[in-house]
Amino acid sequence: MVKTIEISADIKEMAGITKAMGHPVRLYILQKLNRMNACCYSGDLVDELPVGRSTLSQHLKELKYAGLIQGEVEPPYIKYCLNQENWEKAKEMFHKLFNENQEI
């Protein structure tokens, strides 16, 4: 007797986003971009974070893959900003998660 259980796509999606947020360097970047309401460059970040350039690049790639940030080429730099639409979506997801027991 085999279990035929699946976890909903919604949960899986949120888990993916949450996972992408679950690293100090990546969380720092997201917090900074949101706080400043601005964008930044990899070069800025590498000076304030305890990781090397290539490692930082990997983290940016992951955040991009998760849809939380986007990079705009601005030679010779790449300007990284929050992906506002998805960031709002994430915000909403967390809001729901923490508040869906508040029903009347």
Partner DNA sequence: ATATCATTTCGTTATTTTGCGAAATATAAA
Partner DNA sequence: TTTATATTTCGCAAAATAACGAAATGATAT
Binding residues vs its own copies (CB under 8 A)? 3, 5-7, 11-12, 14-16, 18-28, 30-31, 34-37, 47-50, 87, 90-91, 94-95, 97-98, 100-101
CA nearest neighbour of 74 among 48, 103, 46, 41: 41
Q: Report how far apart the first and last C-alpha atoms of the chain are (Å, whole number).
A: 40
- 81 near DNA (CB under 7 A): no
Query: Using CB distances below 5 to 8 A depending on partner kind, what does residue 84 bind out of DNA, its own copies, none?
Result: none
Token digits of residue 96: 């729901």
**71 DSSP 8-state letter:** E
Q: How far is CA 9 from CA 16, 67, 83, in A?
A: 10, 16, 21
Query: Using CB distances below 5 to 8 A depending on partner kind, what does residue 28 bind out of DNA, its own copies, none?
Result: its own copies
| Residue nearer to DNA on the CB measure, 21 or 90 | 21
Which residues of this chain interact with DNA, rule CB under 7 A? 19, 22-23, 25, 41-43, 46, 50-62, 71, 73, 75-78
